[in-house]
Amino acid sequence: MKTPEKLLSRRLGYKGKNITVFSDIISLKGRKLKRDLITHPGSAVILPILDLKNKTIILIRQYRYAAKMYMIEAPAGTRDKGESTLACAKREIMEETGYKAKRFKKIVNFYPTPGVMNENMDVYIATGLTPAVKKPDWDEDIEVIEITLDKALNLIEKGKIRDAKTITSLLMLERLLNSKGKKPHL
């Protein structure tokens, strides 16, 4: 399908470590308008499964400056330059949870804020966990939470989990595990 918007000009507004902000002038239906765009290298989200039978997973709790609060989230991280999302997932699970995984399975890809940002997230289920050395970044204060999927879904309903990538990931995992007549290939 042909794109309805044509880029006419671009002005750099800000370049940071993980994002770049542009102010674009585009043409749409013969008219000019401004679009602000944030570019991002993409992210990996991981749902580590400790016990498939009991649906025990690992989430983390960390402070988020933009939200001004501690949030319960799935472990995740931004891709380094040239890094695949799978390599990012393998790095982030160790950094944030202190576990390694034998198997990773991508279950969904999505854009968390496509109205203003091109960030693209791949969600992986990680199984075959073994303890490893937890190596959070120096600016991360992360608490590891072992929780059942049902309790995590309940926290969404109660408004205790408000992070979009985590909600998306948990709902996809629930769908995979509860598919009628199908055994999940995790």
Question: Do residues 62 and 74 make contact, with C-beta atoms less than 8 angstroms apart?
Answer: no
Q: Is 140 designated active site?
A: yes
Cα–Cα distance measured from residue 49 to residue 126, given in angstroms and rounded to the nearest whole number:
6
Cα–Cα distance measured from residue 122 to residue 124, given in angstroms and rounded to the nearest whole number:
7
Q: Could you say which of 5, 140, 143, 146 is catalytic?
A: 140
User: Which residue in the block uniquely carries the two structure tokens 């995790």?
Assistant: 186
Task: Tell how strand 20-28 and strand 76-78 pair up.
Answer: unpaired
Residues forming the active site:
140
